[in-house]
């Protein structure tokens, strides 16, 4: 390859990367989609607390439960502070966005969290390098824990 072809390739890649990059963390939250309801009865779409994206809430919380204070868009540290404890169980998994070339959003991975006696949460797990993420995108009120799918 000659020098001009290499320069053209480098400039093209730089422009593509700039177009696909996420300018700020607040914009990254707007890329977090609401998960599919899958036809679950009692599921409602709810705007995040900053209004930048829509998440899902399924079921009804127990009266007086700290789980009832959770809001779509909260960060993981806010969730644990509100709940007053760490989750009982959790696991992470990849989303289909993991395989999109040049995807720099915060939803390439997700984390499912179980609070026994309360329900499950779905939180963005970050980009393909593990950075960003931590935004609450789904709340499933289910005291039986049946919502947790390891």
Q: What is the mean pLDDT of the chain?
A: 78
Q: Are 125 and 133 in contact (CB under 8 A)?
A: yes
Tell me what pLDDT residue 69 has.
95
Count the domains in the chain: 1
Tens digits of per-residue pLDDT, 98-127? Answer: 888 888 888 889 999 999 999 999 999 888
Q: Summarize the confidence of residues 32-41 as an average pLDDT.
A: 50
Residue 12 lies in a domain: no
Residue pair 115/28 in contact (Cβ under 8 Å)? The answer is no
Q: Which of 18-22, 44-48, 94-98 has the lowest mean pLDDT?
A: 18-22
Q: How far apart are CA 4 and CA 128, in angstroms?
A: 32
Confidence band (pLDDT; 50, 70, 90) for 1? low
In the three-class reduction of DSSP (H, G, I as helix; E, B as strand; rest coil), residue 67 is classed as: helix
Indicate left, alpha or beta for 142 from its phi (over 0: left) and psi (-120 to 50: alpha): beta
pLDDT for the residue 55? 94
Domain that holds residue 72: 24-141
Whether the pLDDT of residue 143 is over 90: the answer is: yes
Q: How far apart are CA 107 and CA 94, in angstroms?
A: 9
């Amino acid at each position: 390859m000659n020098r001009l072809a290499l320069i053209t390739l480098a400039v093209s890649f730089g422009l593509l990367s700039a177009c696909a990059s996420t300018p700020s963390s607040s914009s990254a939250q707007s890329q977090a989609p609401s998960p599919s309801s899958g036809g679950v009865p009692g599921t409602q779409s709810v705007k995040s607390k900053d209004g930048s994206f829509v998440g899902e809430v399924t079921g009804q919380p127990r009266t007086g439960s700290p789980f009832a204070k959770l809001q779509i868009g909260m960060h993981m540290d806010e969730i644990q502070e509100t709940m007053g404890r760490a989750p009982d169980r959790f696991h992470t998994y990849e989303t289909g966005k993991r395989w999109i070339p040049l995807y720099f959003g915060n939803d390439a991975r997700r984390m499912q969290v179980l609070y026994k006696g309360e329900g499950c949460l779905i939180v963005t797990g970050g980009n393909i390098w593990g950075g960003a993420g931590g935004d609450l995108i789904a709340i499933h009120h289910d005291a039986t824990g049946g919502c947790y799918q390891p």
